[in-house]
């Protein structure tokens, strides 16, 4: 297999410390009459002073508020970075990021991308293989040699003939929809008939797919996840672009890209999804763009957005680091 290369740019226990004034004063050795100033002018700590300390529940609430503030700050920073990176670009662009190291997440896009659904192009091949692996597990069997070969060239080389065969093997749109439900996808509509590349989706749903592939709480068995991850880590050199641009070591990235020129407009869809390591953080990242004048323009936009969206996670802004 080709090596992956790239040349582009938290409940705190509730300790209930409630007692009577008498119990507290007895515990510290003072009577009510002794609770005034001592000789020498040093005040005596009273029971009232003890009971006015912040309660553990208040501390927990404060920590939760701080965490929410950090998440809001992170989301704002990602949105600003994405909008700046996409400034001047045509079409629609949107990004979703999840930090597996901290659980923090953010999504953002251009103004026109709000509630916009993107054609998947070839990134849907990850979902097609996930659907096949679910069916194989349900049947209690292993992939056949032919299925294994088709899966390999479909992911590593983005081979469309192999994708056609596996699309039919899973039952087409119906099979993909069933798998998507099991994997937690709620915003993806499979393409009609043979048009798997016209499946429509959102960055947030692609993040759910990536969680099913790279997370442990998944309908996919562990061996199936490992298999898919391995293929996504062996992408052919000529397709090695996209989210890997944000990785500290692009060769460590696991990804799948998609690109498609729409026949009606001649404008391009350029998408990239995967897992990258950035400044000690393991990030799942989905970048979707459409309406691009060329594949090269779309590729550059995807890579710029990948870098912009991950930078706030890398520098700790909004993550409490």
Q: Which residue has the higher pLDDT, 21 or 86?
A: 86
Q: pLDDT of 94-135, one tens digit each?
A: 999 999 988 999 999 987 767 899 999 999 999 999 999 999
Q: Which residue has the higher pLDDT, 47 or 189?
A: 189
Long-range pairs, 224-230, Cβ under 8 A, ≥24: 224/130, 224/133, 224/134, 224/136, 224/137, 227/133, 228/126, 228/129, 228/130, 228/133, 228/155, 229/254, 229/275
pLDDT at residue 316, rounded to an integer:
66
pLDDT surpassing 90 at residue 45: no
**Pair of tokens at residue 186:** 């709620």
pLDDT at residue 47, rounded to an integer:
38
Residues 186-203: what's their mean pLDDT?
97
pLDDT at residue 54, rounded to an integer:
61
Residue 300 CA, chain-centre distance (Å), reads 21
pLDDT surpassing 80 at residue 48: no
pLDDT at residue 120, rounded to an integer:
98
Dihedral sign (CA 69, 75, 79, 85): positive
pLDDT at residue 115, rounded to an integer:
81
102 three-state secondary structure: coil
pLDDT at residue 22, rounded to an integer:
39
Determine which of 38-52, 157-171, 302-316 has the lowest per-residue pLDDT on average: 38-52
pLDDT at residue 315, rounded to an integer:
80
pLDDT category at 147 given cuts 50, 70, 90 is very high
Determine which of 11-20, 32-41, 117-126, 185-194 has the lowest per-residue pLDDT on average: 11-20
pLDDT at residue 317, rounded to an integer:
55
pLDDT at residue 319, rounded to an integer:
52
User: Among 296, 258, 293, which Cα is nearest to 274's?
Assistant: 258
In 10 A of CB 239, how many CB atoms?
18
Q: What is the mean pLDDT of the chain?
A: 84
Dihedral sign (CA 242, 245, 250, 253): negative
């Amino acid at each position: 297999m080709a090596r992956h290369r790239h040349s582009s740019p938290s409940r705190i226990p509730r300790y209930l410390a409630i007692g009577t004034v008498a119990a507290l004063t007895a515990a510290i050795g003072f009577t009510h009459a002794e609770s005034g100033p001592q000789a020498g002018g040093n005040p005596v700590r009273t029971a009232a002073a003890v009971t006015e300390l912040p309660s553990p529940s208040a501390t927990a609430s404060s920590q939760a508020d701080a965490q929410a503030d950090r998440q809001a700050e992170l989301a704002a920073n990602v949105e600003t970075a994405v909008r700046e990176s996409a400034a001047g670009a045509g079409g629609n662009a949107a990004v979703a990021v999840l930090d597996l190291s901290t659980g923090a997440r953010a999504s953002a896009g251009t103004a026109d991308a709000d509630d916009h659904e993107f054609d998947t192009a070839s990134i849907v091949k990850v979902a097609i293989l996930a659907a096949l692996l679910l069916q194989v597990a349900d049947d209690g069997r292993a992939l056949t040699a032919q299925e294994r070969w088709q899966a390999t060239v479909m992911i590593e080389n983005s081979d469309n003939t192999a994708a056609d065969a596996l699309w039919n093997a899973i039952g087409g749109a119906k099979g993909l929809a069933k798998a998507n439900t099991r994997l937690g996808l709620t915003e993806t509509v499979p393409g009609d008939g043979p048009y798997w590349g016209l499946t429509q989706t959102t960055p947030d749903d692609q993040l759910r797919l990536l969680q099913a592939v790279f997370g442990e709480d998944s309908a996919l068995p562990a061996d199936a996840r490992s298999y898919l991850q391995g293929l996504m880590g062996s992408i052919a050199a000529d397709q090695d672009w996209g989210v890997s641009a944000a990785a500290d070591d692009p060769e460590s990235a696991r990804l799948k890209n998609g690109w498609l020129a729409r026949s009606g407009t001649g404008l391009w869809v350029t998408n990239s999804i995967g897992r990258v390591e950035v400044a000690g953080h393991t990030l799942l990242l989905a970048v979707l763009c459409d309406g691009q004048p060329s594949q090269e323009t779309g590729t550059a936009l995807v890579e710029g957005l990948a870098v912009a969206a991950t930078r706030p996670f890398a520098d700790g802004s909004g993550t409490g680091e």
